[in-house]
Amino acid sequence: MSASAPPPRHGQPARRRAAVLAAGITTTLTVGLGIAYTQTTDSAAGIGMAATTTTTATSTTAQTAAAASTSTGCTAKLTPGKTWPDRYNSTVTITGAGTWTAVITMTAPQKVSTVWNGTASWGGGSGDIMTVKSNGSGKTFGFTTQYNGNTTAQPKITSCTATTSTSTTSPTTTQKPATTTTTPAAAADLTVKTGTKYQTIDGFGSAVSIWGSAWSAAETQTLFGTGAQQLGQSIVRTGISPVPSEWANQVSALKSAEASGSNVKILATPWTAPAAWKTNNSRINGGKLKTEYYDDYANHLNDYVSYMKSRGVSIDVVSIQNEPDWHPDYDAMDWSATELKNFVRDQGAKIKNTQLMVAESLNMDDSLTDPLLKDATARNNIGYIGGHLYGAEDAGHLKAYGLADQYQKPVWMTEWNYHKAASDTSTAWSQPGNQAVWDETLDDVMRTVHKSMEANWSAYIWWYGKRYYSFIGDGNAGTTTGAPLKRGYAFSQYAKYVRPGDQRVAVSQSSKASALEVTAYQGSGKIKLVILNRSTKAISNAVIQAPQTVSKAEDYLTSRTANAASQTAGINGQQVTVDVPARSISTVILSQ
């Protein structure tokens, strides 16, 4: 098996490890492939009547206003945005109405893939008529259109209508102002107790392709940046190839990750030692490291750290082995608990300028690390305990690790991949509002992040960050390469707002809020609550009791129909009131 070949399935339910080979495209072209266009449409305010449409096309390289739809109470102006070889953005600005409905006609086979700052629905024989309603996010909305082979057609505004109601969700991160009142304090539904402290958070992240191509600079920025439509991750996991000539493959992506966010950490994990050092003389199918090569293996890991440092990449954590208790037919190597202890005890100090992690077992099996933690020399040579979630919950291992806590060794969950909601080729993964994908994201992925935090673990690292079922698309299953996916926005409710160095603190709940799964964090003068509502019941006017007066409150929500959308929060001294929609995950940030 070559170093670049993708491995087969892991063997655990719904686990995939196919390498991502699609490269990100970041070139910006002029709108419409050099065609600027204008459009004017009139409609009667309040009744949504479409009038005549006039479109003029001229050859130019400038990005000009594309459409203006005017009525007595509502004006809609469409402006072209960024363009890629496979898709383009459009922005619509509304004037003359506080709440509105805009109707836009698309031309098949072009299709809208993403809408932000508005609530969209589709009609027409081919779903080519898009109706966008205001949802409290202001008077500007935008959308991304896939060419699907038609690079000349442009969207047309059919009508703009003043309306009287708004939706409560929106795929945007623009903050709505909090309202401040001076009414008497209400009974609290969520009470933050900063006097009770738990683990310090190291971060949330995902893996770069272990066997395939690296992320592009733009993709890395989307994953690790903290701006609008960026996901705010703070840990990247990479592999240590047994072939040093392959180490250069990920240098660019790792440097970009460190530069894209604040306090980004890099975890480097080997899947195997060089074949000649193993008992089976092969990179694959397990096999053990021969004891006479323990010293060489330590030098191999140390050389990797030194190599990356010479290229401007700091490796914060080096693992001894990926899944030492699993021997599949791809890169792998077996270790027993005693072998791990002996290697770390005798060789661990030779690996410099980083911290060591053990054991990244398949299901957080602490029997592999207990002997090491009980040996003072071995224990002092490591900084972290790591493990994976495959079967961990069923085995009773998704819980606090007492021995690691006793010796102050942070526990990281360093890999999980679960995607049973649809087949590997289903375009359900590319549909932002797909119910099955959202249910799996909320009930399986986000639930395990919550439980990992409650287990006092300091980090949660998903499998590939760029994959059709993950955080940004890879071009497969209908996804757009590099574009954020629904699962990415949901994960960002932790990653983007709960930052490295924050400390988890206690939070209590009233009976009204008993269905919520909530963790609270404190750091940088702020309190952050991540609220997971997997029930079918919304909770209105949930009162959060802070331990100090709140000067500013931010509330961001991801649901089946919203992506990191800003919600209104009311402030009353030390209390903040928020609405928690059903089947959603939200993050509330309280500033003193």
φ, ψ for residue 69, nearest 5 deg: -110, 120
> What is the rounded distance in angstroms from the CA atom of residue 528 to the CA atom of residue 263?
18
Under 8 Å between Cβ of 25 and 85: yes
% of the chain at pLDDT higher than 90: 69
Q: What is the mean pLDDT of the chain?
A: 86
Measured in degrees and rounded to the nearest 5, phi and psi for residue 439 equal -60, -45
> For the chain, what percent of residues have pLDDT higher than 70?
83
Pick the more confident residue, 143 or 60. 143
Q: What is the mean pLDDT of residues 400-404?
A: 98
Reported as a pLDDT band with limits 50, 70 and 90, residue 89 is: confident
Render pLDDT for 229-255 as a digit per residue (tens, 0 to 9).
Answer: 999 999 999 999 999 999 999 999 999
pTM for the predicted model, two decimal places = 0.74
Predicted pLDDT of residue 470? 98
pLDDT above 70: residue 319: yes
Q: Output 16 or 394, whichever has higher pLDDT.
A: 394
DSSP string spanning 306-326? HHHHHTT----EEES-S-TT-
Please give the Cα distance from 441 to 232 (Å, whole number): 18
